[in-house]
Structure 1
């Protein structure tokens, strides 16, 4: 095994803080929806709104950090090796085959991750945030010329976005267990160090 330092301190802080805020927003959001009662409707609404604004603030810092450090390049999508990675997750992983993608400091995410993140950033996030802000500023619709918009459709779109985010979270947690050990990827997001399999010398290959 080779140890590679992949995730800097701010990346780990940003990752865990964002995860905590999203999970908290899911919990309070589903309570607002009436799924269960923990905080009570009014407190759930206030907590949900506070978490949303906090997440916006976190994203402002994260965007600034990614732009100034050049780390934004980590999220440029690619289809290179995507079929090999897809085959690994669909069958190779169950046969004990090695992962076809090895992360490096300049390429931390495999092509399937990159395409997933692209979908989250361009489709899922806009759905959640646009409907969320419309929901929050419902009293201003008339002044914005949106009086013909139906609150029911906005609420439905926001709920669909929440379920899609929950599905992404569950799949993300599952994939986090698919390293060479169940906790390997989790440890890398705590310590910053990722253990990767070293390439076997050509002379030793069958």
Structure 2
């Protein structure tokens, strides 16, 4: 085992800020939905709107970062060990079997993680973002109060937005659980806080030194 600098500063900032905004949006969104009362309806609406803009800005920066650094390649799924990975999480992990794949700086995600996160980025997140924007601008702020999406009933937009919220919450619950499946129950969380993780692949030593300079 060796300590490798695997998660860069922006990556950690983006991860934790996105998580905080998603949970805050869920809190205010379900209050707007009438599920409970905490901030009050008007304050919840305004807070939800502000947090939504903050998330959109963060997403824009993260897309730019992923493509300029080449980190987008991390989410390209491979299927060679997908079945073995599913078996590990459903059976092998409870029997103490070795992990079927190894994490490295170039391959931070196993096949199942890559496929899941790709689904998050291409399906769940766009569903929330698009329906949220349509919901926000369903009526323009002008004297005529003109409907700009007249062909889509507002009820359908609200339903799809709420569906996206439930999917994101389910993803978050599974994600939090999966963080406990590392070498120790807290090793994955610690790695996302410090950037360093204990890896088994000796070939990553040169990359470790290179990334320490980058830090």
Q: Does 1:69 align with 2:69?
A: yes
Which of 182, 185, 193 is the equivalent residue of 1:182?
A: 185
Q: What's the secondary structure of 1:176's corresponding residue?
A: helix
Q: Does 1:39 align with 2:62?
A: no
Task: Using structure 2 for the length normalisation, give the TM-score.
Answer: 0.87
1:198: how far off?
Answer: 5.9
Instruction: Report the equivalent of 2:25.
Output: 25
Gaps (5+ residues) in structure 2? 203-215
Q: What's the secondary structure of 2:132's corresponding residue?
A: helix
Which of 162, 166, 170 is the equivalent residue of 2:169?
A: 166
Kindly provide the CA deviation profile for residues 26-48 of structure 1, in whole angstroms up to 9, marking residues without a partner as x: 11111110111111111111111
1:183: how far off?
Answer: 0.2
Task: Using structure 1 for the length normalisation, give the TM-score.
Answer: 0.91
Gaps (5+ residues) in structure 1? 200-206
Kindly provide the CA deviation profile for residues 156-199 of structure 1, in whole angstroms up to 9, marking residues without a partner as x: 11111101100000000000011121001001101111123469
Distance 1:2 1:83 in 2: 28
Distance 1:17 1:112 in 2: 24
Distance 1:30 1:121 in 2: 22
Distance 1:60 1:147 in 2: 28
Count of residues in correspondence between the two structures: 198
